[in-house]
Amino acid sequence: MPAPYCGMDCLLHDHADGAFPVGAKLEWLYIKNGKPLPRPGINLRNMVRAKFTDPNGDIVEAFSHTTGLMQSEETIFEVAKNHVIIRARQGIRYDEVMLAPQYHLFGEFQKEAKNNPVKALTRVINAVVMGIKAGEEASPKIEANFLVGIGRELSPRKAIQVLKAIEKSDRNHVVGANIVCDKNKFPPERHRATFEYADTAEINFEFHASEWIRRPKQNPDFQRDLPMLLKDLRFVLELYKKSRSKTKKRVGHGIALPYDTDLMRIASDYGIGITGCPGSNLQGKNIPDLESLKIKTMLLLGILWSMNPDDDFFQLDINEIFQMCNDVYRFTLEEKQLMRISAWKTRFGNRKPVPSDIYPFL
């Protein structure tokens, strides 16, 4: 299978409910959910895609247009399986498939979610894992694992229920947890206890942090938001510093990182991965331009920064993102390899051999 032409063959930040592969399943999902098509012959991809593109829209509501269609074991399984097969076809060799089980408890699992939430969450997680395994069976060259999203609107008590479900799951395939969604209403401080539980339970952890902060309807302004973006990032990195486990830790986005030397030093010294998503940052208007990400500076300082798609169902795909960044940065071969190595080094799972040109660097 060819590698994607940009060379980025290890994806760590890939929301399956907002990913390119889910688009191919929309019609099937509509039928399975007994939903009539709004009109015959409609392009469902374009219709659903349009729901995601309002930068001031509510993020959980936007994603409900895909998560709402995955409320049964069968649909969750199929989306996960299809995701892995399509990523493998695109030449991806390692993928952390992200979904947040809490958004899949409104159909088949609803009753159980009320009586025994951990059990219901475990069933959702198992459905994803079964799908991933089936996808891997069809495409054995890829290693795909489940990175469990936790929508940050959950209270820490409920977020810990998700972690308990992870503990009950197949830990070979369920490789970590990731705090996702609205960063403005629910800053990282809300989930200190969630992280501490994960740390004790030896669950690898990522915080989406320092991605965006502005209030609804507020115009984008990177400079105005920078102090708040740095504050969130500082909280997360200081929390990671205090970790007592050997688990891997990452920050999703972290767009303010190159604007604080001390924070860059922590990220580099502690081997904290940064899963960068430049296409998403640009489309969401969270950065004024790609130069603002200062990717070369971070690579130069030994920060494990990787390039990822975030949500390529309605955003750019990894090849397009790389091309746009390369037009701006003119990466050297060494820098390009560093981004790949960063991804492979900071991946949470490790079941299959890595590509032979990456192996010597790990």
Instruction: Please provide residue 144's backbone torsions phi and psi, each rounded to the nearest 5 degrees.
Output: -125, 135
Q: Map the footprint of Zn ion across residues 285-314, applying CB under 5 A.
A: 310
Which residue's Cβ lies closest to Zn ion?
310
Q: Map the footprint of Zn ion across residues 310-339, applying CB under 5 A.
A: 310
> Which candidate, 225, 243, 154, places its Cα nearest to that of 190?
154
Q: Which is nearer to Zn ion, 310 or 312 (CB)?
A: 310
The CB-of-13 to Zn ion minimum distance in angstroms stands at 6
Exposure letters 11-21 (e unless 16+ CB within 10 A, then b): bbbbbbbbbbb
Q: Which is nearer to Zn ion, 250 or 336 (CB)?
A: 250
* Chain centroid offset of residue 195 CA: 17
Number of residues forming the site for Zn ion (CB under 5 A): 1
Q: Which is nearer to Zn ion, 95 or 310 (CB)?
A: 310
Q: Which is nearer to Zn ion, 15 or 25 (CB)?
A: 15
CB 52 within 8 A of CB 311: yes
The CB-of-310 to Zn ion minimum distance in angstroms stands at 5
The CB-of-346 to Zn ion minimum distance in angstroms stands at 15
> Which candidate, 181, 221, 345, 197, places its Cα nearest to that of 275?
345
Q: Which is nearer to Zn ion, 122 or 280 (CB)?
A: 280
Per DSSP, the three-state class of 36 is coil
The CB-of-308 to Zn ion minimum distance in angstroms stands at 8
CB 124 within 8 A of CB 162: no
Q: Map the footprint of Zn ion across residues 198-257, applying CB under 5 A.
A: none
Q: Which is nearer to Zn ion, 23 or 279 (CB)?
A: 279
Containing H/E element for 179? strand 174-180
Exposure letters 152-184 (e unless 16+ CB within 10 A, then b): bbbebeebbbbbbbbeebeeebbbbbbbbbbbe
The CB-of-302 to Zn ion minimum distance in angstroms stands at 24
Going residue by residue from 118 to 147, which x/- string records binding to Zn ion, judged by CB under 5 A? ------------------------------
The CB-of-253 to Zn ion minimum distance in angstroms stands at 7
Q: Which is nearer to Zn ion, 232 or 310 (CB)?
A: 310
Report H helices in 68-191: 73-89, 110-115, 117-138, 156-167
Task: Report DSSP letters for 41-58, one per residue.
Answer: T--HHHHHHHHH--TTS-
Q: Which is nearer to Zn ion, 19 or 358 (CB)?
A: 19
> From CA 325, how far away is CA 321, in angstroms rounded?
6
The CB-of-330 to Zn ion minimum distance in angstroms stands at 27
The CB-of-178 to Zn ion minimum distance in angstroms stands at 8
> From CA 84, how far away is CA 16, in angstroms rounded?
9
Q: Which residues of this chain interact with Zn ion, rule CB under 5 A?
A: 310
